[in-house]
Amino acid sequence: MTANSSDSGRARLPRSARVRARAEYAAVFDGARRCSHPLLALHWLADAAPARLGLAVSRKVDPRAVARNRIKRVLRAHFRTLRPRLPGGAYVLVARPPAAQADNAALRAAFDSLLARAGALPPTAPAGTMPASAASPSGATPSSGPHDPPRAARPSLPAR
C-alpha cells in the first residue's frame, strides 16, 4: 500500500464539500456575507447546495509551506466536524498573517466565532452561574416548594 492511499486512516472532505473552481471563488468573493477576525476572514455565500469549504492561505501569511499547510489542515478538520450543523453554502476562509503564529485551538476558536457572527452557527450560550433548567416560565424559584405560589402572586410589602 502506498502512503497516498485512500485507506491511510485520514478522513477527507469529498469533492462536493470543497470550493474548487476559480469561478466559484469569484462568485463567493463578489456576493458573499463577510465577517472578519484578527486571524481569519470568512466569506459565506448561502445557497441550496450542502456546505462547502474553500481556503486561501497565501505566502504573505507565512512563506513556509509547512506553516500554511498546518493552517489549512486544522481548518479543514474543524470544518469536517461542523459540516452537519452548517446551513448550505460556500464558506471561504482567508487566513491573515497572525494565523501563522496562532496555535490550533486559536484557529478553531476564530473559525467558530466567525461562523456564529455570520449567523451560520447559533451563538454559544454565555457561561453563567444559573443552570438553564433553573429558570421556569411560571416565575417560581428553584428553592420554592411544590405548594408555594409563584413569586409574582405573593403579596408585596407596602411602599414607604
Per-residue pLDDT tens, the chain, 160 aa: give them. Answer: 444 544 445 678 888 899 999 999 999 999 989 999 999 999 999 999 999 999 999 999 999 999 999 999 999 999 999 999 999 999 999 999 999 999 999 999 999 999 999 999 876 666 667 666 655 555 555 555 555 555 555 555 666 6
Per-residue cell: 70: 498546518
Domains (range + CATH), the chain: 15-118 (3.30.230.10)
Residues 6+ apart with CB under 8 A from 14: none
Residues 6+ apart with CB under 8 A from 145: none
State the Cα–Cα distance between residues 68 and 60, nearest whole angstrom.
10
Residues 6+ apart with CB under 8 A from 117: 35
